[in-house]
Structure 1
Amino acid sequence: MKVVRFHAPGDVRIEDAPEPTPGPGEVKIRVRNCSTCGTDVKIWRFGHHHIDPPRVMGHEVAGEVTEVGAEVTGWQPGDRVQVIAAIPCGRCDQCRRGRMTVCPNQESIGYHYDGGFAQHMVVPAKVLAVDGLNRIPDGVSFAEASVTEPLACVLNGQELARVGEGDDVVVIGSGPIGCLHVRLARARGATRITLVDLNRDRLDMAAALVAPDATVCAAETDPVDAVLKLTDGAGADVVIIAAASGAAQEQALQMVGRQGRISFFGGLPKDKPVIALDANLVHYRELTIVGANGSSPAHNKAALQLIASGAVPVADLITDRLPLENALEAFDIVSRGAGIKVTIEP
């Protein structure tokens, strides 16, 4: 079979590999779609401290069960499935307290285990142990199901930021995650959603798909001034930074209103993780600042149902479909921001 395998920063190869065999507690799937994200591009360029190469990449996986290992019950060949990416241990204190997104023993598909940029993949027993293999509902395509994992991360972020009915929401960053934030905020009852980006072309492409109530190109207009004008000076209820930008995080503090919530959804570069924060703004305006780190198995189940119900449409966000042999082209599209969601179809 063909795989996309990481060997070293800048060295990702399309290679032949033997088909894997499921062991006890494992399930083998025929991968039908594995979508890409910015993390794949970062791994391609810089590697990752959790990856011991060579490693098959890809963590936004949907496919069809072809074989089940010993001791596996409830699954059979032909079942259509979506696979979680982040695998909590399910046993530590954080997991027992329901905080699976911050499990200190967390492992990941495409990092610790071979991932979905392959024609066939074995789902580890640890995934099944935490109920991380999900049946794809009828009417949901494999491509749509592959967007479950990023939507699950977005759902975690909006739950932490308490996005809800009547909120005035600003989303900074118009990539696939920003688009999913707009769609989910709408589904959760936000009254007005403003999408902000520095890149005019990318902003216009995203806005044409997800139809925010307002857009702000931060290269042309001061985004803080723009948001304050849109809100008659009150500021937004929620600001979500879906970009790796310290400047955007600092701007969020200036554009959020009293008792507002700020989500630091995008992590910052490891060499520049520190921002300037006016603590008095947080104090006197009673602001809440939250991080968001991945998703739990429960978030994946909920996200898949949001897609299936039509509450959060994702099919139109998939702008590019490429075969496995063109994976490096897919990474290039993502790195240039030339598409929204780019999926690989092995």
Structure 2
Amino acid sequence: MKAAIYPGQGQPIVIENLPDPRPGPGEILLKVHRCGVCGTDLSMTKGGIFDYGQNTQFGHEYAGDIIELGREVTGLKIGDRVAVLPSVACGQCEPCRSHGNNVLCQAPPGTAMVGFAELAKVPASVATLLPSTLSMADGALVEPLAISLYGVKLAQIQPGDRVLILGGGTVALYAIYWARRLGAGRIVVMSRSARRRDLALEMGADAFITYGDNEIGEAREALGGAPQFVFECVGAEGMLGKAIMHAAQFGKIVSLGFCTSPDPIIPGIASFKCVSMQFAVGYSMKEFIYVADQMDKGRCDPKAIITNEIPLSGLPAMFDVLRGPNDETKVHVTL
């Protein structure tokens, strides 16, 4: 089979021929149909502090159909269409028992981050059946939708709350989607350019604002007051400080941007507002199942964010494109 490999230390990814995998006990083999490119893929392959490592197969936003079952697999059959929760968990450590968040597992027994490949061997326990109404493109969006759902649930938005979302990428767009569905009142999105204004409004935002000297006043006017919740979905230096400046007194900031560089804040400003901060990563199987069940019941189509579809052979060149100025939102590799 063909698969994308990251050699490590910031070297360009390559497409290699690997032996076809075979499922062991409790495992399934998928024919991968779709795998999305995530911002994490870009940041984890540039050779920084956070890095996938040497000669790593990767890809974690994917869906496919089952072509082979290992022994002891129950509840699934050949031909089933599934999305994959890419983090494999032990189920025994404290994060697993207390939170069910696979990403936080302290002793993961393996990985299912193998989506940029023609075939994927994964534990049956991380497969989520896709309803017949969903396509493979939908299935490859379950993972990013689950990230935003997990963060929005942690915020505990109450009906009518004012929400500001910083950023216009996938996590931000899906944070709009879930904030709207989970009861938010006014939702305003703020980004550096207006390129994704229409997408933000389609996902459920009431207004879109670009950063500027009067952004605090513009956001408050559009929201009808300072935001009670601010979702930081950019992951760049300075964004936590910006979130604090916007937040209402006793407001809550939820960081979903996963910044991998130091991001200083001024605690005094946050203290005078009595704001709280919540950092989040990952999701549980509950989010995956809920997303797969609910994503065709909303008032907008999550697939609207897909801007490009490329073959696996085009992935190395696309990484170069995505590292610079570009017009893409979500790129899918089709296999």
Q: CA–CA distance in 2 between the matches of 1:324 and 1:68?
A: 25
Matched with 1:227 is 219
Equivalent residue for 2:210, pick from 210, 217, 228: 217
Distance verdict in 2 for CA 1:69–1:311, change over 3 Å: farther
Q: Within 5 Å, give how 1:27-176 maps onto structure 2.
A: 27-46=28-47, 51-100=52-101, 103-105=104-106, 107=108, 112=111, 115-123=114-122, 125=123, 128=124, 131-176=125-170
Of all paired residues, the percent bearing the same amino acid is: 26
The structural deviation recorded for 1:52 is 4.1
The structural deviation recorded for 1:31 is 0.2
Matched with 1:313 is 301
**Unpaired segments ≥5 residues, structure 1:** none
Residue identity in the other structure for 1:5: I
Aligned residue for 1:190, secondary structure, equals: coil
Query: 2:31 touches 2:120 (CA, 8 Å); kept in 1?
Result: yes
Count of aligned pairs between the two proteins: 333
- After superposition, what is the alpha-carbon deviation per residue over 1:15-69, rounded to whole angstroms, capped at 9, x for unaligned? 2222111111111000011111111112332267563432222001100000011
Larger deviation: 134-143 or 36-45? 36-45
Residue 241 in structure 1 maps to residue 232 in structure 2: yes
**Unpaired segments ≥5 residues, structure 2:** none
Q: CA–CA distance in 2 between the matches of 1:175 and 1:78?
A: 33
Q: CA–CA distance in 1 between the matches of 2:13 and 2:166?
A: 31
Aligned residue for 1:309, secondary structure, equals: coil
Query: 1:152 touches 1:295 (CA, 8 Å); kept in 2?
Result: yes
Q: CA–CA distance in 1 between the matches of 2:48 and 2:305?
A: 27
Equivalent residue for 1:258, pick from 249, 252, 255: 249
Residue identity in the other structure for 1:150: P
The structural deviation recorded for 1:256 is 1.3
Distance verdict in 2 for CA 1:16–1:114, change over 3 Å: farther
Query: 1:61 touches 1:146 (CA, 8 Å); kept in 2?
Result: yes
Distance verdict in 2 for CA 1:299–1:158, change over 3 Å: same
Aligned residue for 1:11, secondary structure, equals: coil
The structural deviation recorded for 1:142 is 0.6
Equivalent residue for 2:267, pick from 269, 278, 286: 278
The structural deviation recorded for 1:307 is 1.0
- After superposition, what is the alpha-carbon deviation per residue over 1:166-205, rounded to whole angstroms, capped at 9, x for unaligned? 111111010111111111111112221111111333x335
Aligned residue for 2:293, secondary structure, equals: helix
Q: CA–CA distance in 2 between the matches of 1:198 and 1:151?
A: 23
- After superposition, what is the alpha-carbon deviation per residue over 1:267-289, rounded to whole angstroms, capped at 9, x for unaligned? 2233xx2412334644x544221
Distance verdict in 2 for CA 1:49–1:291, change over 3 Å: closer
TM-score normalised by L of structure 2: 0.91
Equivalent residue for 2:329, pick from 321, 327, 340: 340
Aligned residue for 1:267, secondary structure, equals: coil
Residue identity in the other structure for 2:104: C
The structural deviation recorded for 1:150 is 0.9
Q: CA–CA distance in 2 between the matches of 1:108 and 1:250?
A: 38
Q: CA–CA distance in 1 between the matches of 2:135 and 2:295?
A: 10
The structural deviation recorded for 1:99 is 4.7
The structural deviation recorded for 1:337 is 4.3
Q: CA–CA distance in 2 between the matches of 1:237 and 1:337?
A: 32
Matched with 2:290 is 302
The structural deviation recorded for 1:331 is 2.5
Query: 1:187 touches 1:312 (CA, 8 Å); kept in 2?
Result: no
The structural deviation recorded for 1:79 is 0.5
